[in-house]
């Protein structure tokens, strides 16, 4: 998958969310369980992952 810069803030959020769903699906059951324990629901855990992705320094 190639990374391109989104044209709008909405596109950036959607792109980050889709990437984090892919990341979630690749996590081991233990890591998913740890995130669920910390954030309560899969939606909250994914929101935390998306926020982390959006706030992370840009990769060169």
Split into its structural domains, the chain has a count of: 1
- 49 pLDDT tier (thresholds 50, 70, 90): confident
* pLDDT on residue 48: 87
34-46 pLDDT, tens per residue? 999 999 999 999 8
Is 9 inside any structural domain?
A: no
Average confidence score pLDDT of the chain = 82
52 by DSSP, 3-state: which? helix
- 6 pLDDT tier (thresholds 50, 70, 90): low
17-35 pLDDT, tens per residue? 888 888 899 999 999 999 9
- Alpha-helix runs per DSSP H in 1-60: 9-26, 29-39, 42-55
Full domain range(s) for residue 31 = 27-53
């Amino acid at each position: 998958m190639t990374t391109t810069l989104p044209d709008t803030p909405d596109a950036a959020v959607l792109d980050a969310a889709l990437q984090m769903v892919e990341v979630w699906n690749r996590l081991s059951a233990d890591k998913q369980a740890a995130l669920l324990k910390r954030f309560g629901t899969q939606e909250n855990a994914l929101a935390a992952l998306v926020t982390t992705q959006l706030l992370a320094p840009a990769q060169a």
